[in-house]
């Protein structure tokens, strides 16, 4: 029996969500919504996406038992291996789905914004695969910090457009992408990278990411018979977390989402939207947000670029207020410890984002006494983070 039903017709998740965009974009959002509702249950469309996932993404991703971590915590820990996907993270699940939508809508030009560059790379990848023009907006400050991802996007044939307004980071790149969309809405598809933005994006991205939870459910039942006691995932915008949670939402399974508390909740350097933010409007939707009293969006900080985001998807805000999902946090330092823990104990170098999810187990930040089995979503692999870790540990690689 399904009891959970979000969003409503206007794209609200309880008091969150909606579409706060310039008037000119409303028809484009409505068109996207109607095309999506049509294709969602279209077996040809879903068949095409399934085949791409098998042959390009490399799905299904394994569910791996982690014996040495389990031994440390006296608890069975399973890892959902999104790190093994093509391009090294869960983001490809979403970009592949949306590029198929763009094609069905007859759009020839793809735009996106990116902070760390990972969504930009995942978008440039699928645009290359389908021969579509791709423009990625990126703040100048982020371009400077993420040169390798900028070069990757260029290798993939995308154009990276520097944004030099405001703080020259993600929030400014987001404004610029929306401006481009307003000006070019006829032939342009705006490809959003997480369960954020105006309705219907949070719903569409969730639906493309829920394959993570669907596979997990089947794989866990085949391995252990039944359901895990708990799921743990990191949360930036919230797509990998919703992706693994959603298929379990009506089940007796506890869910924990872990945000980045950076240098600590008592400092100004964190990305702890749920712990320290409040409701506000950002990126076309109402949700929890880090902002000051004048409504200015605060600059977040996390050692992991993918969690360094001032907002969070509206469905997460709803799941927090309804109590269905518990929101915890892990600091930079705790994430680095968990990064080393997994690397040394299981021979898997995780993304620093994913390490935040592991950290709450390693630090025993939640009561685990009644659990036998927990699944951690390993949202990505850590090759991209090796330099950051070296810097953090004071090791000179040059
Ligand atoms: C982008 C990213 C995240 C954060 O994004 P969500 O939308 O919250 O999932 C987490 N892990 C990895 C590996 C990422 O690349």
pLDDT tens, position by position, 157-167: 999 999 999 98
With a cut of 60, say whether residue 1 has pLDDT above it.
no
Residue-level pLDDT at 43: 97
Residue-level pLDDT at 305: 87
pLDDT tens, position by position, 179-199: 999 999 999 999 999 999 999
Strand partners, 160: 136
Atom of ligand 1 at shortest range from CA of 195: 7
Nearest CA to ligand 1 atom 5: 236
- Pocket (CB within 6 angstroms of ligand 1): 89, 91, 118, 194, 234-240, 306-307, 351, 353-354, 379-380
- Residue among 105, 148, 147, 151 at smallest CA distance from 130: 105
Rounded Cα–Cα distance for residues 383 and 334 (Å): 19
Rounded Cα–Cα distance for residues 32 and 212 (Å): 24
With a cut of 60, say whether residue 344 has pLDDT above it.
yes
Question: Percent of the chain, pLDDT > 90?
Answer: 92
Atom of ligand 1 at shortest range from CA of 194: 7
- Residue among 180, 182, 187, 127 at smallest CA distance from 158: 127
Atom of ligand 1 at shortest range from CA of 238: 8
Distance 301 CA to ligand 1 centre (A): 15
Average pLDDT over residues 342-348: 98
For 62, which DSSP code?
P
Check residues 205 and 398 and name the one with the higher pLDDT.
205
With a cut of 80, say whether residue 2 has pLDDT above it.
no
Distance 184 CA to ligand 1 centre (A): 28
pLDDT tens, position by position, 277-291: 999 999 999 999 999
With a cut of 90, say whether residue 295 has pLDDT above it.
no
Nearest CA to ligand 1 atom 1: 306
With a cut of 60, say whether residue 256 has pLDDT above it.
yes
CA 78 to chain centre: 20
For 221, other C-beta atoms within 10 Å of its C-beta total 12
Check residues 170 and 121 and name the one with the higher pLDDT.
121
Active site residues: 91, 113, 379
Pocket test for ligand 1, best of 329, 339, 379, 384 (most atoms within 8 A of CB): 379
Nearest CA to ligand 1 atom 3: 306
Tokens 């950290």 found at: 359
Average pLDDT over residues 104-126: 96
Average pLDDT over residues 209-238: 98
**Residue 281 neighbours by CB under 8 Å, 6+ apart:** 20, 289
pLDDT tens, position by position, 46-79: 999 999 999 999 999 999 999 999 999 999 999 9
With a cut of 90, say whether residue 293 has pLDDT above it.
no
Average pLDDT over residues 258-280: 97
Residue-level pLDDT at 116: 87
Q: Mean pLDDT in the chain?
A: 96
The pTM of the full predicted model, rounded to 2 decimals, is 0.97
Nearest CA to ligand 1 atom 7: 239
Distance 379 CA to ligand 1 centre (A): 6
Please, which pLDDT band fits residue 145 given cuts at 50, 70 and 90?
confident
**Residue 46 neighbours by CB under 8 Å, 6+ apart:** none
Distance 23 CA to ligand 1 centre (A): 30
């Amino acid at each position: 029996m399904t009891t959970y039903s979000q969003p409503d017709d206007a794209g609200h998740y309880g008091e969150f969500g909606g579409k706060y965009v310039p008037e000119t974009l409303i028809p484009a959002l409505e068109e996207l919504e109607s095309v999506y509702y049509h294709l969602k249950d279209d077996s040809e469309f879903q068949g095409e996406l399934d085949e791409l996932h098998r042959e390009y993404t490399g799905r299904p991703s394994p569910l791996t038992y982690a014996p040495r971590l389990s031994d440390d915590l006296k608890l069975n820990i399973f890892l959902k291996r999104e790190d093994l996907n093509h391009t090294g993270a869960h983001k490809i699940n979403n970009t592949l789905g949306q590029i198929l939508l763009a094609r069905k809508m007859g759009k020839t030009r793809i735009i996106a914004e990116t902070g760390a560059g990972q969504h930009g790379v995942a978008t440039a990848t699928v645009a290359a695969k389908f021969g579509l023009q791709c423009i990625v907006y990126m703040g100048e400050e982020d371009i400077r910090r993420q040169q390798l991802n900028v070069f990757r996007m260029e290798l993939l044939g995308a154009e990276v457009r520097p944004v030099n307004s405001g703080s020259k980071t993600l929030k400014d790149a987001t404004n610029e992408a929306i401006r481009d969309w307003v000006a070019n809405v006829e032939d342009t598809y705006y490809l959003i990278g997480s369960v954020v933005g105006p309705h219907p994006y949070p719903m569409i991205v969730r639906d493309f990411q829920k394959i993570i939870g669907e596979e997990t459910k089947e794989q866990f039942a085949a391995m252990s018979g039944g359901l895990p006691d708990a799921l743990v995932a990191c949360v930036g915008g919230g797509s990998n977390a919703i992706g693994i949670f959603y298929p379990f939402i009506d089940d007796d399974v506890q869910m924990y989402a872990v945000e980045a508390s950076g240098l600590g909740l008592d400092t100004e350097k964190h990305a702890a939207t749920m712990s320290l933010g409040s409701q506000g409007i950002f990126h076309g939707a109402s949700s929890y947000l880090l902002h000051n009293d004048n409504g200015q969006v605060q600059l977040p900080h996390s050692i992991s670029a993918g969690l360094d985001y001032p907002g969070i998807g509206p469905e997460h805000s709803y799941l927090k207020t309804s109590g269905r999902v518990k929101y915890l946090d892990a600091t930079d330092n705790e994430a680095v410890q968990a990064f080393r823990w997994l690397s040394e104990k299981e021979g898997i170098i995780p993304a620093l984002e994913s390490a935040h999810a592991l950290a709450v187990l390693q630090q025993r930040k939640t009561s685990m006494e009644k659990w036998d089995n927990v699944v951690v979503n390993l949202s990505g692999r850590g090759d991209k983070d090796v330099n950051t870790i070296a810097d953090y540990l004071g090791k000179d690689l040059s």
